[in-house]
Amino acid sequence: MLVSLRGVAAADRPSSSAAAAGLPRESGDAARPPAHMAALILARGGSKGIPLKNIKLLAGVPLIGWVLRAAVDSGVFQSVWVSTDHDEIEKVAKQFGAQVHRRSSEVSKDSSTSLDAIVEFLRYHDEVDIVGNIQATSPCLHPTDLIRVAKMIREDGFDSVFSVVRRHQFRWSEIKKGVCEVTKPQNLNPAKRPRRQDWDGELYENGSFYFAKRSLIDKGYLQGGKMAYYEMRAEHSVDIDVDIDWPIAEQRVLRFGYFGKEALKEVKLLVCTIDGCLTTGHIYVSEDGKEVLSYDVRDAVGIQLLQERGVEVRLISERNCSPKTLSAMKLGCVAEVGVAAKLPVVEKWRTELNLCWKEVAYLGNEESDVECLKKAGMSAVPADSCPAAQKATNYICKCNGGRGAIREFAEHIFLLMEKVNSAGKKA
């Protein structure tokens, strides 16, 4: 029995041993903890292509946040780490539940390799047996991919596994300038050019992740030993290298990205804070004591579009806004002002409309909005909101409060509702 278990990870043994049948263990067959698998995202601050690319907002979420969400929710890692040399990246990493390894300047140079940074990380973390090096620039990664790869390492005995994508592209030899040669086909016969559906295509590394055992990395390799590839779906294979990739990736992640463990539901109610969201937060006071507020026409259009699609929009404020001023805006929204605690009011509205929290969206900008931002199925904050609010939300607008944030959030809601509806049709 012991001979048949050679080369199998300790975590896999119970399924084929006396212990699995509930029988006493043989002497010396002490239970071992599972091999420590650590997710490691390398994110230095000196990106040359896009400054601070790793925390630039992509569809309202810092780029690195997409892969950290997938890593944490997969549940296969004993620890999730970000290796960085930058304070702002460290703050974002911790916000998404990761631990931070402060990498040295020696492995933060333009010439430093991923392997250099991984080796340094392992030098400080003796407990780690397996490293899952996940690229921050792959925002469409899903937990299911990581779960399957972890099984390949732990149960199937592979020493290294890396991600690939299938492409149907014909390759031709390159001709250097000034050389009198003709190009030649590399992977096809032009006389028998296959149709796409008749050709399996080829596998290419997509750089999304590289898993390797410590024993292999100690030899200076990320790929080697008993190797395997993991084929990702083409729509999930997104890699951001330059600015031109950004808008394409943003549309892709909104359609195919991972948004969390709980399924999205169709939004039926949007609650919006007045000061700092509907308005800029500036108050103009006339000589006779009357206050004047301004708002962006784009936000009024956003509210109207939501209402036309059956979404109830309600306004809330801690301040005693003038009812006449709000009425003059002609937004057609129920409003409650002078609210000391916002959560009970939103809870009351939710109950009145017979909705669950997943059907509620919330746009806030202050610490007083944090509870509601955390509760809502979909939440957002303007770009100029306070740090506490930004930490509590799952979407940070590009627009400031009173400068188009509502319209932007409305568009985001519509895109996610398309995702909900398409998922419903498939089911």
Interval 382-391: pLDDT, tens: 999 999 999 8
Q: What is the pLDDT of residue 45?
A: 85
The DSSP line for 100-121 is: EEE--GGGSSTT--HHHHHHHH
Share the mean pLDDT of the chain: 86
Lowest-confidence pick of 40-54, 364-378, 410-424: 410-424
From first CA to last CA, the distance across the chain in angstroms is 45
Q: How much is the average pLDDT of 242-260? A: 80
- Better-scored residue on pLDDT, 19 or 424: 424
Q: What is the pLDDT of residue 51?
A: 75
For 320, the token pair is 């005693």
Sign of CA dihedral 23, 29, 31, 35: negative
Cα atoms in the 13 Å half-sphere on the side-chain side of 330: 2
Q: Write the burial class of residue 161 (CB in 10 Å: 0-12 exposed, 13-18 middle, 19+ buried).
A: buried
Report the largest interatomic distance among the alpha carbons of the chain, rounded to a whole angstrom. 92
pLDDT in tens, 266-292: 899 999 999 999 999 887 777 776 777
Q: What is the pLDDT of residue 394?
A: 81
Over 351-402, what HEC string results?
A: HHCCCCHHHEEEECCCHHHHHHHHHCCEEEECCCCCHHHHHHCCCECCCCCC
pLDDT band at 1 (very low <50, low <70, confident <90, very high): very low
CA 265 to chain centre: 19
Question: CA-to-CA distance for 115 and 419, rounded, in angstroms?
Answer: 38
Question: CA-to-CA distance for 86 and 99, rounded, in angstroms?
Answer: 14
Lowest-confidence pick of 92-101, 104-113, 405-414: 104-113
pTM for this model (two decimals):
0.75
Residue 3 pLDDT > 90, yes or no? no
- Better-scored residue on pLDDT, 165 or 244: 165
- The catalytically annotated residue of 25, 32, 102, 193 is 193
- Better-scored residue on pLDDT, 261 or 125: 125
Q: What is the pLDDT of residue 302?
A: 93
- Which residues, including other chains, have CB under 8 Å from residue 95's CB and lie 6 or more apart? 65, 391
Percent of the chain with pLDDT over 90: 58
For 160, the token pair is 């290294």
Question: CA-to-CA distance for 293 and 297, rounded, in angstroms?
Answer: 13
Residue 402 pLDDT > 80, yes or no? yes
Determine which helix (DSSP H) or strand (DSSP E) holds 336, and give its type and residue range. strand 334-336
Residue 171 annotated as catalytic: no
Q: What is the pLDDT of residue 422?
A: 63
Q: How much is the average pLDDT of 210-224? A: 96
